[in-house]
Every structure is written in structure tokens, then in C-alpha cells.
């Protein structure tokens, strides 16, 4: 059998390394080229060939991706970082390989938390009460209407960019001034009601407007949280699989609210409000959350689920033209209560309350 040829961009990041590892666990025998901006991290994944690319905002980015794809005869390109996925979605006609990405207009909304919030609210999906910052005086309204603390965050970016729970208007003013003083425009900030409840993620694959499969997990710990002012550092060191109908429903409605015909990978973040109602904080269209391929790897190697449990493999096969599996559950693909514990230099464990554990990496 010919080996399907795949190019993964951002392959050196943690998510990229996980994605490549998941493809290696498939029985498809993928031939995998990887590309990354970073000269060091590109050494980490298990690749057949390695390439450097300019930053996604360089005018040379697309040309470089296209020439790597041509040189490596890639049949499918998976851009792992959202920023690269957006540029590639916009210029997909210039890349000589298939992709499975939402339309650039959809990704634009998904990558802007304010536009996302407006779309979701219109569609009746619960979101945090929000006051955008257009002038510094808008902080008066934020602090009189949103409660205490107020969650300040950026419209764009990942990993809780510019996030800080602020107790007073002065704190928020100083926080925003630090970044506007370094060139960030004020309207890049929004302020939100603080959502104190569970931190939930839904990772989903869709095809031609239909949900193929998904799972839901609760984030319990972030690595290095004590050295981050918000405690959010992007990808959790401990998460557990949960079954939560309300979260599943909110996530599905959120995807449909931003994309009339969802196609590909969607990573949805939710946080519960003071009454335990899930509010959607982000719908990242075209995105594999960092551990989405790692859970897929675990599904194949440790849980012995059907092949489609390996979500990276499923996504690439669909991207190459395969029909979605008819028997995959729409929700709750992975077993409830299973924890994944991971940390830098410490490997990855599966763990259950009561003490059962199994080493994964």
C-alpha cells in the first residue's frame, strides 16, 4: 500500500508533536513531513523530513509551504497553529495539496473572541457578559456592570493571552496600559464577567455540516500556573474525561453558530458561570486542541478503541477523501472519569480515582 504523504506545519510545538505521534500510531503507515518556524523544536517530532518556515505573517510563508508540499509530494497539509491555518485557508489555491479547513471567514470569527461572542449571543448560545474596550472610560461600565473580579483578555491569540482577573478599575487600567504602551491597540482588549465554574473543553470533528464525533473533558490543572498572573498557561497538565450533555449541546450550537457548514476540526472552550451553566469562551475553527491528538493516540494504543478514536488519523483520512465512519458516537467518544496527567519531563499518565494508572509516554 502506498504511504499517504502528509505535511504538518507547526510540527515542533507540543500540539504538533502530539499530532505526529498520533499519525504514527495509525495503521495507515503515513509518510510525514514536518515544518516549523523554530529551529530547535522542529527536532522534537518523529518525522520523515524536517523543514523550516518563516513566520505565518511573512510574505514568504505561503510560497515556502507550497514549495515544501511540492518537494515532498504531500497529499494533505495539516496546519496545527491557528495562525498558520488561517493563512493557509486564505491561500489554499496556492498550496498543491488537500486541506480540511473551514472557510477563512469562519476562522476569522473563531480567532476573534469579540466577534465570536457577538455571533454566539445572536444564536442564543450562552456567553459571558462582555464589555469591549474602545476607550479607557469603558472600564467604568465594565466595573459597574460585570461584578468582581472582571476578567480582562485579548480578542486574538491563544493560551489566555493578556488574561487577568482584575479587582479594581485601577488594576485593569494598569494592566491594559502595560500592553498598549508596547503597541497593542486598546480595542484588542475585552472585559468579561468572571466565570468561576468548571473549565471545560470539547474537541470535535465535523464533515460537510455534520458532527462526526467529539469528546468532552474538564481541565483540572495548568502547568506553571503559579508563575502566570491569570493561572492560565494554555494547555492543561491534568484533565479528566466528563460526560456533560449541557456542555456538548452548547459546543455543538456554538460551532453551528459560527459556521453554517462545519467541516474539519473544532476546539471549543467553555467555563461555567456561578450557577453552573456552561458559557462558551472560544470556538477555534480548524483547530486541534493541544491534547486532542494525544487523547487519540491513547485511544488507539491504550484504550483499544476503534480506529476512529485516533482523531488525527480520522481527520487526515477524511481530508484525503474517506467517508466519515457511520458507527462513531457523536458525543462522549472516550470513557468518563479517565484522567490524563502530564508535565514537562515527567511523561504522560492515564489515571483513575482509586489509584489505577498506566504510563503513556
Ligand X SMILES: Nc1ncnc2c1ncn2[C@@H]1O[C@H](COP(=O)(O)OP(=O)(O)O)[C@@H](O)[C@H]1O
Does 203 participate in binding Mg ion (rule CB under 5 A)?
no
Determine if 18 is a binding residue for ligand X (CB under 6 A).
Answer: no
Binding-site string for Mg ion from residue 264 to residue 303, where x marks contact by CB under 5 A and - marks none: -----x------------x---------------------
28/116 with CB nearer ligand X: 116
Of 52-60, 187-195, 238-246, 351-359, the window that binds ligand X (rule: CB under 6 A) is: 187-195
Site string for ligand X, 213-232 (x = CB under 6 A): -------------------x
Number of residues that bind Mg ion (CB under 5 A): 2
Q: How many residues bind ligand X (CB under 6 A)?
A: 18
Nearer to ligand X, 166 or 318 (CB): 166
By CB under 6 A, is residue 198 in contact with ligand X? no
The interface region with ligand X, picked from 8-16, 190-198, 237-245, 325-333 by CB under 6 A, is 190-198
- Cβ distance to ligand X smaller for residue 76 or 162: 162
* Close Cβ partners of 176 (under 8 Å, ≥ 6 residues apart): 133, 136, 139, 152, 186, 189
| 269 near ligand X, judged by CB under 6 A | yes
Residue 290: partners with Cβ closer than 8 Å, 6 or more residues away: 13, 14, 15, 18, 234, 235
**Taking CB within 5 to 8 Å according to partner kind, which of Mg ion, ligand X, none is near residue 252?**
none
Select the residue interacting with ligand X from 194, 308, 315, 334 (CB under 6 A).
Answer: 194
**Is 244 among the residues that bind ligand X (CB under 6 A)?**
no
Q: Provide, rounded to whole angstroms, the least separation between the CB of residue 195 and ligand X.
A: 4
Q: Does 80 bind ligand X (CB under 6 A)?
A: no
Rounded Cα distance between 43 and 351, Å, is: 29
Please report whether residue 218 would count as binding Mg ion according to CB under 5 A.
no
Check if the beta carbon of residue 188 is closer than 8 Å to that of residue 156.
yes
Please tell me the distance from the alpha carbon of residue 81 to that of residue 190, in angstroms, as a whole number: 23
Contact between 301 and ligand X (CB under 6 A)? no
How far does CA 107 lie from the centroid of its chain?
12
Residue 199 interaction partner, one of Mg ion, ligand X, none, beta carbon < 5-8 Å per kind: ligand X
Q: How many CB atoms lie within 10 A of CB 55?
A: 11
Q: Specify the residue, 192 or 237, whose C-beta has the smaller distance to ligand X.
A: 192
155 conformational bin, left if phi > 0, alpha if psi -120 to 50, beta if neither: alpha
Q: How far apart are CA 333 and CA 330, in angstroms?
A: 7
Site for ligand X in 113-132 (CB under 6 A): 128
Residue with cell 459546543: 251
Residue 35 DSSP SS3: strand
CA gap 310, 304 in Å, rounded: 10
Distance of alpha carbon 35 from alpha carbon 31, whole angstroms? 14
Closer residue to Mg ion, CB minimum distance, 79 or 236 = 236
- Return d(Cα 345, Cα 294) in angstroms, integer: 16
Contact present, 200 and 277 (Cβ < 8 Å): no
- Three-state DSSP at 114 gives helix
* Contact partner, 281, from ligand X, Mg ion, none, Cβ < 5-8 Å per class: ligand X
Composition of the chain by helix, strand, coil, percent to 5: 30, 25, 45
Q: Which does 53 bind (CB under 5 to 8 A by kind): Mg ion, ligand X, none?
A: none
Q: Given the rule CB under 6 A, which residues bind ligand X?
A: 128, 151, 153, 158-161, 163, 192-195, 199, 232, 269, 271, 281-282
Q: Given the rule CB under 5 A, which residues bind Mg ion?
A: 269, 282
Amino acid at each position: 500500500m502506498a504511504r499517504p504523504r502528509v505535511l504538518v506545519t507547526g510540527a515542533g510545538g507540543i500540539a504538533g508533536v502530539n499530532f505526529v505521534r498520533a499519525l504514527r500510531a495509525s495503521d495507515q503507515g503515513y509518510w510525514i513531513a514536518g515544518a516549523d518556524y523554530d529551529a530547535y523544536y522542529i527536532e522534537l517530532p518523529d518525522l520523515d523530513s524536517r523543514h523550516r518556515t518563516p513566520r505565518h505573517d511573512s510574505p514568504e510563508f505561503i510560497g515556502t509551504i507550497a514549495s515544501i508540499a511540492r518537494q515532498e509530494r504531500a497529499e494533505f497539509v495539516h496546519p496545527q497553529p491557528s495562525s498558520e491555518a488561517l493563512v493557509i485557508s486564505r491561500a489554499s489555491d496556492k498550496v498543491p495539496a488537500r486541506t480540511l479547513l473551514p472557510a477563512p471567514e469562519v476562522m476569522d470569527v473563531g480567532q476573534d473572541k469579540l466577534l465570536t461572542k457577538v455571533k454566539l449571543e445572536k444564536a442564543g448560545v450562552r456567553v459571558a457578559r462582555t464589555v469591549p474596550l474602545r476607550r479607557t472610560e469603558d472600564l467604568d461600565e465594565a466595573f459597574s456592570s460585570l461584578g468582581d473580579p472582571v476578567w480582562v483578555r485579548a480578542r486574538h491569540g491563544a493560551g489566555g493571552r493578556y488574561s487577568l482577573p482584575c479587582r479594581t478599575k485601577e488594576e485593569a487600567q494598569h494592566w491594559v496600559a502595560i500592553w498598549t504602551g508596547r503597541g497593542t491597540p486598546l480595542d484588542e482588549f475585552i472585559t468579561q464577567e468572571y466565570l468561576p465554574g468548571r473549565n471545560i473543553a470539547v474537541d470535535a470533528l465535523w464533515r460537510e455540516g455534520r458532527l462526526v464525533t467529539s469528546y468532552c473533558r474538564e481541565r483540572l490543572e495548568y502547568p506553571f500556573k503559579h508563575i502566570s498572573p491569570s493561572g492560565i498557561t494554555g494547555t492543561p497538565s491534568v484533565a479528566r474525561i466528563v460526560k456533560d450533555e449541557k456542555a456538548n449541546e452548547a459546543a455543538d450550537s456554538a460551532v453551528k453558530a459560527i459556521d453554517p457548514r462545519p467541516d474539519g476540526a473544532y476546539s471549543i472552550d467553555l467555563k461555567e458561570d456561578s450557577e453552573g451553566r456552561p458559557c462558551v469562551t472560544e470556538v477555534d475553527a480548524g483547530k486541534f486542541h493541544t491534547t486532542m491528538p494525544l487523547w487519540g493516540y491513547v485511544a488507539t494504543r491504550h484504550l483499544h478503541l476503534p480506529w476512529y478514536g485516533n482523531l488525527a488519523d480520522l481527520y487526515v483520512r477524511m481530508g484525503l477523501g474517506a467517508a466519515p465512519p457511520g458507527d462513531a458516537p457523536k458525543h462522549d467518544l472516550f470513557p468518563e472519569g479517565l484522567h490524563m496527567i502530564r508535565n514537562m519531563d515527567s511523561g504522560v499518565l492515564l489515571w483513575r480515582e482509586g489509584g489505577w494508572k498506566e504510563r503513556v509516554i
